Structure 1
Amino acid sequence: MKIKLRNYENNDRFGTDYQNIYDFLRRINQNQYDTPNFLWARWSWMISRPVDNENLKNKIGIWEDEGKIVALVTFELTFGEVFICVDHNYDFLKEDILNYAKEYLSNEGKLKVIISDSDRQLQELALNSGFRPTQYKQYVSVLDINDKLKYNLPSGFKVVSMADSWDYYKYNRVMWRGSNHEGEPSQEDEDIQWRKTMLSSPHINPKLIIAIAAPDGNYASHCGLWYIPGDKYAYVEPVATDPEYRKMGLGKAAVYESILRAKELGAKEAIVISSQQFYYNLGFKPFKTETWWE
């Protein structure tokens, strides 16, 4: 056993290191959910997202055993808020990973790490390292995919997918308005390019990227879904509904349509990082709870 620590190489957005971490996250979650809060799809979504300082991604830490990745520590949206992913056969690395995170992934001396409420080992290590749990949680919910997942669309509404006639301007609009921003979004070239980059992952299946189009052609609701044949689970991210079209069953339709398409490819479960009542009403059940320690 020859464990080596190195940094992520961010020379190419979807280069060798991206692919190797994607393989690592798929491998450790193949038979059981070792890192249900940070599956390969969350990694892909994170790397797809342009950030102001792309060089920060070079601070991501990778542990390898004779060239095979066995552990990862990374941030996602906010530098200084980190996720620890470890092959359960290498749990002894967790103390080293915490120390690395404190030294290299802190943001102006502040660091938060998400820890599963069932990971007593990492909790104890964090406690001894000066971390304390907060009131802030992250929730993983799971849906069993079955034939009971049915929906109805109001007259005039229709399903479109990225594999059909995808309109990035309409996608930009539903994501903007669905995130509760007021008014109309900027539709400058840089805004549309940002949206295109977000959907540029080589592991996106365009048939699973769904929008519900309103009678006027605008996208009223959207669901992104990530699935690779051979995996048990599909990952829901993101979901957005224009406030003008809420309470019409359109969000349900977008999510169910995406999930049912994944079911045809072999998915048995769907996972979402959320505890919103919206998902519980769709049949998702609480699965794992994690706490932010700082």
Structure 2
Amino acid sequence: MKYTQKKFEAYDFLKIRDFLKQSLKSNPDLKNWFIDRWNFCRYWGQIMHNTFEKWPETVGIWEDEHQEIVAVVHPEGEDNIGEAYFQLADRDFSNEFLNELIDYAEKKLALHGERESTLDIIVNEDGEQLKELLKKRGYTLQDGKETTSCMNVPHDVKLDLPNGFRISDANEVGDFEKGFAHGKAFGYYKGDYPDNDVAERCYISLRNAPDYIPEFDVVILDSNNEVASFTTLWYDELNKIGILEPVGTIPTYRKMGLGKAVIYETIKRVKDKGAERIFVGSDQPFYLSMGFSLAYSKEIWQKKNITV
């Protein structure tokens, strides 16, 4: 079957979002992105890295004769490219078509440095057909992996907050406060005041994401009403899953159980909406201690000295 490539248009963001949901429903083994990452990369990461305007030019879309999406090739958009993600429909693709996707990635997404050009293609561990094609084209498997963990929503969600802390969410807490906490939690704000307004602008942007729900943007406040811990959960109602992105606790309040508490509060809220499972893009011991287990990993295949 012949598939047609098209350029990304503004309306395609939601069309691809729906494709990701439907592909998970039809075949979870495809392991395409969840809606959290699709929303977060666009409305947070690309704001932080100032790539919002140019990212659409890097997204390749292939459709069938009914204008249904069958494949998307794109970067996350948080740096100068050098990476490619493949979102694929549940179809038997020919080697010729998959090579066409690789050709696109090499032409549009390779990172060209002064001494060499490189491209990382992220592949499902069990994606043998694509991996064999990459091997033939000179790609080599790298040490790192992208991991995703999952747990069933517990029947009884118990919160254990230390004295002096309380639960709130984005209906009460402003973007400046959340942004400052994010910067402290992830280490790019070191002092008593933000070094810039980047994180605040990211949270302002995040409110515009199609799947953002303020009640699922949960924080724990200390006795001074400052953000101590936070998470945002994204709910895919079609697949009845919640996905955490991001999760953080500022250094002052770590090892107090606040991270678990803010996650449990968010799970309690999404459970009331019908969620059955919770995912997170990590396999850190912190999540495993809560009941998460590794769901799957993705491999990174790299090629250097790419010529197109």
- In the other structure, the counterpart of 1:91 is 93
Match for 1:179: what amino acid? Answer: F
- In the other structure, the counterpart of 1:17 is 12
- In the other structure, the counterpart of 2:187 is 180
- In the other structure, the counterpart of 2:70 is 70
Match for 1:110: what amino acid? Answer: T
- In the other structure, the counterpart of 1:30 is 25
Partners of 2:144 and 2:197 lie apart in 1 by 37
* CA displacement 1:104-128 (0-9 Å, x = unmatched): 1111121001111111111111111
Gaps (5+ residues) in structure 1? 10-14
Please say if residues 239 and 251 of structure 1, whose CA atoms lie closer than 8 Å, have aligned partners that are also in contact: yes
Please say if residues 236 and 270 of structure 1, whose CA atoms lie closer than 8 Å, have aligned partners that are also in contact: yes
- In the other structure, the counterpart of 2:305 is none
Please say if residues 182 and 199 of structure 2, whose CA atoms lie closer than 8 Å, have aligned partners that are also in contact: no
TM-score scaled to structure 1, two decimals? Answer: 0.92
Match for 1:71: what amino acid? Answer: A
Match for 1:241: what amino acid? Answer: T
- Per the TM alignment, residue 68 of structure 1 is displaced from its structure 2 partner at its CA by 1.1
- In the other structure, the counterpart of 1:43 is 38
- In the other structure, the counterpart of 2:235 is 227
Please say if residues 230 and 266 of structure 1, whose CA atoms lie closer than 8 Å, have aligned partners that are also in contact: no
Secondary structure at the aligned position of 1:88 is classed as coil
Equivalent of 2:84 in 82, 85, 88: 82
Match for 1:97: what amino acid? Answer: L
Partners of 1:159 and 1:133 lie apart in 2 by 44
Higher mean alpha-carbon deviation, 276-285 vs 52-61, is at 52-61
- Per the TM alignment, residue 65 of structure 1 is displaced from its structure 2 partner at its CA by 0.8
Secondary structure at the aligned position of 1:29 is classed as helix
Partners of 1:226 and 1:199 lie apart in 2 by 12
- In the other structure, the counterpart of 1:12 is none
* CA displacement 1:119-157 (0-9 Å, x = unmatched): 111111111121110101111111111224322111121
- In the other structure, the counterpart of 1:8 is 8
Tell whether 2:271 aligns with 1:272: no
Please say if residues 180 and 200 of structure 2, whose CA atoms lie closer than 8 Å, have aligned partners that are also in contact: no
* CA displacement 1:166-217 (0-9 Å, x = unmatched): 2212101110111023223427556522321133202111111100011111
Partners of 2:225 and 2:195 lie apart in 1 by 17
- Per the TM alignment, residue 264 of structure 1 is displaced from its structure 2 partner at its CA by 1.0
Partners of 2:85 and 2:289 lie apart in 1 by 28
Partners of 1:189 and 1:99 lie apart in 2 by 38
Moved over 6 A (4+): none
The aligned runs of 1:203-282 (5 Å cut-off) are: 203-282=211-290
Equivalent of 1:124 in 103, 107, 132: 132
Please say if residues 176 and 185 of structure 1, whose CA atoms lie closer than 8 Å, have aligned partners that are also in contact: no
CA RMSD of aligned residues (A): 1.8
- In the other structure, the counterpart of 2:175 is 168
Secondary structure at the aligned position of 2:93 is classed as helix
Partners of 1:57 and 1:185 lie apart in 2 by 34
Gaps (5+ residues) in structure 2? 303-308
Partners of 1:115 and 1:225 lie apart in 2 by 25
* CA displacement 1:197-255 (0-9 Å, x = unmatched): 13320211111110001111100000110003232211110001001001111100111
